[in-house]
Amino acid sequence: MTRPTDLLQGTLDLLILKTLSWGPAHGYAVARWIEQLTGEALHIGEGSLYPALHRLEERGWVESSWQLSSTKRRTKVYKLTVKGRQQLRAEAGAWTQFVDAVYKVLKTEEQPA
């Protein structure tokens, strides 16, 4: 499997933090949300979500607990921590700046003097 992990990794982390900012969710729900919102645009192996989630947990940006799902299954539910929310804000800001900058370049017609 060859894919631009680095870029994707950071982006994936950002997407996960964003989805969790709406409320606690298990991994499957996070996967569905990302799929719905991005359509086919970002094609990620859904499996790579899990190492990402656990890494976020290791960093203290999300925390997890075991709960019973609606189907009475044992599920691991993730929740954004205060630190995670700050991280999301910081990363989202950086991302927007980055996108703005790239966009500005792309929009420019003339070669700068």
Residues binding other proteins (CB under 8 A): 1, 26-28, 31-32, 45-48, 50-51, 54-55, 57-58, 66, 69, 73-76
Give the nearest distance from C-beta 11 to other proteins in angstroms.
Answer: 17
Which two tokens mark 31?
């996967």
**Minimum Å distance from CB 8 to other proteins?**
13
- Pick 6 or 110: Cβ nearer other proteins: 6
Nearest distance from C-beta of residue 53 to other proteins, angstroms:
8
65 or 97: whose CB is closer to other proteins? Answer: 65
CB atoms within 10 A of CB 17: 20
Q: For other proteins, which is the closer residue by CB, 32 or 89? A: 32
Q: Which is nearer to other proteins, 52 or 80 (CB)?
A: 52
The burial of 62, by beta-carbon neighbours within 10 Å (0-12 exposed, 13-18 middle, 19 or more buried), is given as: buried
Measured in whole angstroms, the distance separating CA 48 from the mean position of its chain's CA atoms is: 11
CB of 111 to other proteins, least distance (A): 43
| Cα angle, residue 36 at apex, residues 23 and 53 outer, rounded to 5° | 50
